[in-house]
Every structure is written in C-alpha cells, then in structure tokens.
C-alpha cells in the first residue's frame, strides 16, 4: 500500500520506532531510520529492511535537540527520495523527579526532544506534503498527553504539547490532503521499560512481577502491556485509505487507562 512513498521515523533504532519502520518497509515504503545505538546493530537493521522487503533504507544519526542536524537529516532524505510522504515523530526521553527537584537541564532536554523537534521536522516536511496533495504526520504521544502522573512534569507537559500541535497541524493540512494524528499508548513493553522493571524491583525490594502489576500497570485496567507491534499497526492504519477522515485525533491504546 505504501509503495513509492517515503517514511521518516525518528527514534527508530529500537522499540516502537523500530517496529513502525519495519511495518512501513513491509508495506513497501522507503524508510529513513533515525536514532542512537550500537553502529553495527543499526547497520544490520538498515540492511535487513532492504534485503527482506526490497525497499531503500537510509540511516541518519541526527541529534534532534540540534536544529542544524534536523535540517541536515531532512535535506538528506529529500536528496535521496525526493521528499518525505510520511513523518512519524517518535523520538523521546523521560526523567522522573518532583518539580522542585527536577533538573533544569532535564526539563530542557525533554521539551526539546519530545516536543520542539516535532515542530521542526513538521515545518520542514509539510510544504512537500501540501504540494503533493498527500501526507501523513503521526506523532507518538502517550496516555500522558491526556492525563497526568506525579513526578513527570516535563514529559507530561511535552506530550500535552504534542496533542495541541497535532490538532493545529491537522487543521492546517486538512484541505491539502495532509492528515495528522497522535497515537497515545499506555505502557509499552520495550527494552527500556524492561530495564526499568529490574531496576524498580531492586529499588523497592519487590519482585519484577509485582512491579509490572502494581507499579507500571496499575493504571491500565487490562493489566497488559501495549506492544510495539500494536502501535506500528495503528501507525500503518493511519496511513491507509480507511483513515482518510481521521484527522487531529488522539488514538488511545492504553487498555482503558483514560476511561477511568
């Protein structure tokens, strides 16, 4: 379905972003992979996308907290593929601390990476989408784009900001064939979360199962993690003709968290 289209997915060297990049490649899209990690593992992933799905995959190691590197990444994508048809703003980082103890540099980092970078990637790719008359912008938000939790001031502020940005982009692109939506998952089982489980269990003196059930999944009525593959399927659906009239929405994937 996505043959001849190009998808740029930020934060796609692991977790949710990697699953989305894989799903889009499977659907025939060329992909631009972005993120940090082990150089060999990233190159192996990039090559696997090309070899398995017969598409072209480009890797950019751009640091999305630096505007010049964002601009260079978009320019590289435009040069390689002619433009970006699908933009997935997925890169993000987290830090947990009370407001009065929250490190200012962590606030700046989270707002910069989780929110401001999405503004820059959007403003740099939107003109091509409008000119072409088709484009999809998908923002990986969170249940925290809709509700708050204590000790996550920067993350919650950034994700609420993403929700607002999503709506504005949706309105501005509505008559130009551009659709913008946000996916709002609850806890997704990724390597990052897996590491947090072990660390939390040790810190609290409880079992890893207790951490999963009583800490991480306490707010999710299904008591089940969202999977990266489920988020990827939602992203793929939002690029399908069936989603042509879905615009400016927060697609909740939280096991009923926000329904409470």
Point out the residues that are catalytic. 155
Q: How far is CA 122 from the centre of its chain?
A: 13
Beta-ladder partners of 178: 135
Question: What residue has token string 């995959």?
Answer: 57
Interatomic CA distance for residues 49 and 72, integer angstroms: 23
């Amino acid at each position: 379905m996505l043959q001849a289209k190009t998808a740029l997915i930020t934060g796609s060297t692991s977790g949710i972003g990697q699953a989305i990049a894989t799903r889009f490649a499977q659907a025939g899209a060329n992909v631009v992979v972005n993120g940090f990690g082990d150089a060999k593992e990233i190159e192996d992933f990039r090559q696997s996308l090309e070899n398995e799905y017969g598409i072209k995959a480009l890797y950019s190691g751009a640091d999305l907290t630096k505007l010049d590197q964002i601009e260079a990444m978009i320019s590289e994508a435009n040069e390689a593929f002619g433009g970006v048809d699908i933009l997935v703003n997925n890169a993000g980082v987290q830090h947990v601390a009370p407001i009065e103890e929250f490190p200012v540099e962590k606030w700046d980092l989270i707002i910069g990476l989780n929110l401001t970078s999405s503004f820059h990637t959007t403003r740099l790719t939107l003109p091509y989408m409008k000119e072409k008359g088709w484009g999809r912008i998908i923002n990986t938000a969170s249940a925290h784009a809709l509700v708050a939790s204590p000790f996550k001031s920067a993350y919650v502020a950034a994700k609420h900001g993403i929700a607002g940005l999503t709506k504005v982009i949706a309105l501005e692109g509505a008559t130009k064939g551009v659709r913008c939506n946000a996916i709002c998952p609850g806890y997704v089982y990724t390597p990052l979360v897996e590491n947090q489980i072990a660390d939390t269990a040790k810190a609290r003196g409880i079992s890893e199962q207790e951490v999963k059930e009583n800490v991480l999944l306490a707010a999710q009525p299904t008591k089940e993690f969202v999977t990266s593959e489920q988020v990827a399927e939602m992203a793929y659906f939002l690029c399908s003709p069936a989603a042509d009239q879905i615009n400016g929405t927060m697609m909740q994937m939280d096991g009923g968290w926000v329904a409470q």
